[in-house]
Amino acid sequence: MDNSQSYREKKVIGIGTVTEITGLSNRKIRYYEMRKLIFPDRTPSGTRKYSFSDIERLMEIAEKIEDGVQTHEIRKDIVKKEKHQMIKGQLNSHFHTNRYS
């Protein structure tokens, strides 16, 4: 087992549990996946698996949809945040390695 991965990021939760936690239907969750707002892992048999972070993202998506935000706008925001995190990680890595060289 990969212990370097945070428990929040481990994709071990089935869609049934996710629907219970979030109150969202299977159909809505699959729709958000189709719109590329959420990215569950799949088992060899095709079962979707979600993480606690995915559940948090689903709740944020549902709130934004309720507020009238379109899915394409949410997707733009997700891409923007992911790029920001990637750049932040690259900068941290660069300064960390150069600091101790």
Q: Render pLDDT for 42-83 as a digit per residue (tens, 0 to 9).
A: 999 999 999 999 999 999 999 999 999 999 999 999 899 888
Distance, CA of 98 to chain centre: 31
More confident residue, 19 or 5: 19
Q: What is the pTM of this model?
A: 0.77
Provide CB contacts within 8 A for 35, sequence distance 6+: 71, 72, 75
Nearest by Cα to 73 from 91, 60, 86, 85: 60
The backbone torsions φ and ψ at residue 41, rounded to the nearest 5 degrees and listed phi first, read: -80, 165
Q: Are 41 and 11 in contact (CB under 8 A)?
A: yes
Q: Is the pLDDT of residue 97 over 70?
A: no
Q: How confident is the model at residue 21 (pLDDT cuts 50, 70, 90)?
A: very high
Distance, CA of 39 to chain centre: 6
